[in-house]
Amino acid sequence: MPHIFIDTNRSLGTIDPNIYGQFSEHLGRCIYQGIYVGENAEIPNSNGMRCDVVNALKALHIPVLRWPGGCFADTYHWRDGIGPQAQRKTIVNTNWGGVSEDNSFGTHEFMELTRQLGCEAYFSGNVGSGTVQEFSDWVEYCNMGGVSPMASLRRENGREAPFNVKYWGIGNEAWGCGGNMRAEYYADLCRQYSTYLRSYSPDHKIYKIASGANVDDYHWTRTVLERAGHVIDAVSLHYYTLPHQDWQHKGSATEFTESEYYTTLHKTLRMEELVENHSRIIRQFAGGRKIGLAVDEWGTWYDVEPGTNPGFLYQQNTMRDALVAAINLNIFNNHCDTVCMANIAQMVNVLQAMILTEGSKMVLTPTYHVFALYAAHQGAQQLESYAETSILRHDEEAVPTLHVSASRAADGKILVTVANLDAAHPAEAQVLLGGVKAAAVDGTVLCGTADARNTFTAPDAVQPKALSAVLTADGFTAALPACSVAAFTVTPQ
């Protein structure tokens, strides 16, 4: 029987709720149709936001939402999205599908969305094709409470009080779609932009996030931290899981072999190496300052669903994706001393989405249910954990049977989240709680075949269900189904 050890006396600190952040880009049907349908739509909405989608997302207790991109951010000019909607400029989304959009969803609409969700806003600013003045004006427009040109413009557009947007990304993927820059050039731009991104209230200090590395570009992180670390609060990291590294043939979201299943999980596990290595560089050049790692784009990336627009990045979501989510969230939890934020890509209808929509229909994906199972980790004290398991090997790609993280909430309850990565075999797990005697334990599990998924004709095919656990003298035991994600809430004596 594999053992899982939870040391309740050892912790790296608090799990930042922002690790459970989301990402919404002007891409495909994420914003339009997925989140925003307009006030005159037949689909039930509140100020243009789909009620079904917002209510489902509120249940996840989303802490922070990133917008408007992504690659779209560095072609986005925020003034195009303010003022009377009928007078806004129609633009072409040159990054994603070449479609036209009318800018009916802009700064005020996004802030209305965050209000409905009860989350913080994270704006990704335009460094690639914008100017320092444009970015500085956006911060002033959102955050200036006194008298100024941008504050007056905001009030003319119907908002008296400042929005007090805290999180600001200084560009996106500056090494690629955000300008194809060298690390040295971007680091200097980051210093320049940061100088003019000001806090307009001592009670609402803005948090500046530098455009960070693609995967294992450690030179990028080192250069940005060495040259601009003194003017930022965090640096980002982007890493997507692809079954195949050929971006033209990444693999199907639903039709995959056992080998592709294990390859996907093996590549996902690389996130730990990346977080550790980038964190080491951050600590080396932070100079005693607290600088975080924001993994603000992560998740699976497959070929689009057959018959859909290739530029819309619409893909289905299976139990394989649920395990990818569990692995990543466990890793982020267990590196909470450095990881200050993470934003899965993306929230609705794009890549590894929480929700899929089709007209008035809505489906919750297996990934959505993993976020629900893990929600109680937000703001809890991380507990050191270790899974003593066998290693699954497929084509020499090592994958452990079990993957785990744990935390203790303010009320003393302990949440243990475990993924059984074995696609074919259940696992009898013995969980040992060092330093705590359990009075009760409640379990919930999400499981199914690796390709199990929810569809518009079968929206409830993959659903969480109760999982029994048996108390022991030093913890509890539970039978974990094959290909499953389980969450156990332990009430101590």
Element (H, E) at 432: strand 427-434
Return the C-alpha torsion angle 3, 6, 12, 14, nearest 10.
120
Encoding tokens for residue 357? 């929509």
Contact between 106 and 77 (Cβ < 8 Å)? no
Contact between 65 and 121 (Cβ < 8 Å)? yes
Contacting residues for 203 by C-beta, under 8 A, at least 6 apart: none
Contacting residues for 41 by C-beta, under 8 A, at least 6 apart: 48
Q: What CA–CA distance (Å, rounded) separates 111 from 116?
A: 9
**Does the active-site annotation cover 273?**
no
Q: What CA–CA distance (Å, rounded) separates 313 from 302?
A: 8
8-state DSSP, 14: B
The phi and psi torsions of 183 (rounded to 5 degrees) equal -60, -40
Q: What CA–CA distance (Å, rounded) separates 229 from 290?
A: 10
Q: What CA–CA distance (Å, rounded) separates 364 from 324?
A: 16
CA distances from 271 to 17, 289, 321, 401 (A): 19, 24, 15, 17
Q: What CA–CA distance (Å, rounded) separates 275 from 485?
A: 22
Q: CA 247, 252, 253, 256 torsion: positive or negative?
A: negative
**Does the active-site annotation cover 226?**
no
Encoding tokens for residue 30? 């994420």
Calculate ∠ Cα 413-298-14, nearest 5°: 30
Q: Which residue is catalytic, options 112, 297, 396, 428?
A: 297
Q: CA 53, 54, 57, 62 torsion: positive or negative?
A: positive
Catalytic residues: 173, 297
